[in-house]
Amino acid sequence: MRYLKHVLILLLVLVLWGCAEPSYTKQNSAYIVLKTPTFKYADMGFIYENSDELKAEIYGSGQALMTLTVTKGSVCMSRLKCMSKITFNSQVLSSEYPPDTIEQIFRGKPVFGGANMVQKRNGFTQKLIKTDKYHIEYSVLNNQILFRDTINEILIKVIKQ
């Protein structure tokens, strides 16, 4: 009987632990602009980060308008179902982008493996061009991230507060 009681307590702890929200080690309020041919959002929000996951939330009138969650293998967006990073790129961004592009942008890290990166005193810039596929200007300077692809009409801007 005692053994059964311990097993039930252990199972209850595991079930409750599995339902817990992930803890984030970094949290920033930010002005976030997300414009692609499929959707447009621009408002204040929060970016939550830990080593395994990134979550960006955009709020309007105190309500969450959009939530974007990026894990190691998938991207989940409030208006879209969860999908692989490759599928997300082909449906929302561009199929020409590497799978980790959206995560690297929100983390303020170099994209495309750091190709054409120019280190600046207060960050870095990248200019990436592939004829008829993409024309990207990406900069991470001070607390501002700006990703612009003029061919695919994509703008992602994050100004951390």
* 14 within domain boundaries: no
Query: Rounded CA gap, 117 and 26, in Å?
Result: 25
* pLDDT score, position 145: 98
Residues spanned by the domain of 71: 21-160
Q: Does any domain span residue 136?
A: yes
Domain with residue 136: its CATH number is 2.50.20.10
d(CA 75, CA 30): 20
Integer Cα distance of 75 and 84 in angstroms = 6
155 within domain boundaries:
yes
User: In this structure, is residue 68 part of a structural domain?
Assistant: yes
pLDDT tens digits, residue range 21-38?
557 678 889 999 999 998
- pTM beyond 0.95, yes or no: no
For residue 43, the model assigns a pLDDT of 94
As for how many domains the chain has, the answer is: 1
Domain membership flag for residue 112 = yes
Would the pLDDT of 63 be above 90? no
pLDDT tens per residue, range 117-143: 999 999 999 999 999 999 999 999 999
Taking CA atoms, 17 is separated from 7, 14, 149, in Å, by 15, 5, 41
